[in-house]
Amino acid sequence: MQEISPHYSSSSIRIAQLISPTQDIDVREILRRYSAREGAVYHDGTGGDQFCSNRCPPRRSPVQTVPGGFSGARIWRVETAVGPCALRSTPASQVDLARLAGLHRLLAHVGTAGMMQVPVPLTALDGTTFFEMRGQVWQLEPWMPGAADFWTNPDSARLSAAMICLARWHVAAARFQPHESECAWFFSNPAGRSPGLAERARKIARRNGPECDALRHKLASCAWKEFAEMGRSILDHFVRLAPRVESQLKFGLEAVVPLQPCLRDIWHDHVLFTGNEVTGLIDAHASRSDCVATDLARLLGSLVRDDRARWDAGLAAYQTVRPLALSELALVALFDQSAVLLGGMTWLDWVCLEGRTFDDREKVLERLRKIVARLEMLAGK
């Protein structure tokens, strides 16, 4: 086995399992859709390359599974003649194809603007960047170098690099010109109200009352005792903090701010470093137009949690590239507090209401511990 950085998972560095191309998926069938230069040639480990055929390369499998995150998507690392690529599959029932087409055009636009950290999906022989097969939507993109290891090396230079990279992404994305069919997701507007804050306000209001009672009942009978214990803490904090956060959100709902394409799930595991340099901004599948404050809160809350001095340093670094209006700065705290409040409730929904199971239970518990710690800090303010 070979140690690799699982860029597309929710973990840090793990060991990838080597598999045969035909053991799980027929990678050769998929890569035949791409040109020989981009995707249809395997490294055979002997110094020569082989075009995809009905037999496997002789010395090693060109495919590695990568431990998955919690979204349902699956990732394989595929060795090709032009370097490693990430092959991604998502259940077709979870994908809006029109939105995905717009997202891929957005990523191509940002990449063309000079953002080398963005993995732009590769174009197949038929001119598409994704396709459906066997109930899955597939895409192939470059495997970005580096590791998501900020927590193990939280250097100030790395924090500044991450925030500057995010600012450059925002500057580039703001110039994207969507097709008419893409405007619902990837528009820009110099003055509008944040759809993300409105969505969070609705979620907080909806959860008050019977929904919390149903979750508490489910937790009482949950066989996963460690989860149930932390789940009760999350639920208690939500009931206590929701009225305060909901009241504060009323200001944000009336604020008029610039809106543009944002990543919306830019956090620790999606920022790859090589040394102090950011070499990958990955997994843009949650992208949608909103106020940039949503990305600032998501990234800073993930990287430095409640260290206010480092929040200030991160915001200062970001503004060396993209200055923030006072109205945008005012929404950063609202996005962060509402995310802290709702983050744990999503886990309760997944386990208690949807019945999801997770192979890496300790990884889930680690995430929940961080959520509870931030809820305790929010309660103490």
Same domain flag for 223 and 353: yes
Determine the residue type at 39. Answer: G
Domain shared by 170 and 201, yes or no = yes
Q: Which of 100, 121, 142 is the last residue of a domain?
A: 142
Taking a C-beta distance cutoff of 8 angstroms, is the pair 85, 94 a contact?
no
CA–CA distance, 143 with 324 (Å, rounded to integer)? 32
With CA atoms as reference, report the closest residue to 265 among 5, 70, 68: 70
Partnered with residue 14 across adjacent β-strands are 4
Same domain, 295 and 374: yes
If asked whether residues 127 and 211 sit together in one domain, one would say no
13 in the same domain as 157: no
Q: Choose among 329, 319, 265: nearest CA to 291.
A: 329
Q: How far apart are CA 253 and CA 380, in angstroms?
A: 24
Are 244 and 211 within one domain?
yes
- Say what the pLDDT of residue 211 is: 86
Q: What integer pLDDT is reported at residue 57 of this predicted model?
A: 34
pLDDT of residue 42: 40
Per-residue pLDDT 10s for the chain (381 aa) are 233 333 433 222 222 232 333 344 667 778 888 865 444 444 333 333 333 332 333 334 455 556 555 556 888 888 877 789 999 999 999 999 999 999 999 999 999 999 999 999 999 999 999 999 889 999 999 999 999 999 999 999 999 999 999 999 999 999 999 999 999 999 999 999 999 999 999 999 988 778 899 999 999 999 999 999 999 999 999 999 999 999 999 989 999 999 999 999 999 999 999 999 999 999 999 999 999 999 999 999 999 999 999 999 999 999 999 999 999 999 999 999 999 999 999 999 999 999 999 888 999 999 999 999 999 999 998
Closest CA to 200 of 322, 67, 331: 331
133 membership: H or E segment, kind and range: strand 131-133
In this structure, the answer to whether residues 193 and 321 fall within a common structural domain is yes
pLDDT given for residue 73 in this prediction: 80
Of 111, 142, 173, which one is at a domain's C-terminal end?
142
Domain that holds residue 226: 150-379
Residues ≥6 apart with Cβ < 8 Å to 245: 204, 337, 338, 341
Dihedral over Cα of 28, 33, 35, 37: its sign: negative
- The per-residue pLDDT for 161 is 98
**Whether residue 130 is found in the same domain as residue 218:** no
What phi, psi does 271 have (nearest 5°)? -120, 115
To the nearest 10°, report the CA torsion of 67, 273, 263, 312.
Answer: 130
Report residue 45 as tokens: 């480990």
Q: Are residues 319 and 265 in the same domain?
A: yes
Cα–Cα distances (Å) from 28 to 6, 23, 247, 259, 289, in that order, read: 22, 12, 55, 42, 36
* pTM, two decimal places: 0.87
DSSP output for 279-295: EEE---TT-EEE-THHH
90, 136 Cβ separation under 8 angstroms: yes
If asked whether residues 200 and 337 sit together in one domain, one would say yes
Same domain? 114 vs 163: no
Measured CA to CA in angstroms, residue 66 lies from 12, 211, 293, 305 at distances of: 11, 35, 31, 27
Q: What pLDDT is stored for residue 36 in this prediction?
A: 53
Which CATH number does the domain housing residue 12 bear? 3.30.200.20
One domain for residues 171 and 77: no
**What pLDDT shows up at residue 205?**
92
* pLDDT for the residue 43: 38
Among residues 117, 142, 167, which one ends one of the domains? 142
CATH number at residue 370: 3.90.1200.10
Q: Which helix (H) or strand (E) holds 140?
A: strand 136-142
Torsions phi, psi of 85, nearest 5? -125, 160
pLDDT of residue 66: 63
pLDDT value at residue 134: 86
Residue 27 main-chain phi, psi, to 5 deg: -60, -35
Element holding 370 (H helix, E strand): helix 361-379
| Closest by Cα among 339, 311, 312 to 249 | 339
Contact yes or no for 80/50 (Cβ under 8 A): no
Total domain count, the chain: 2
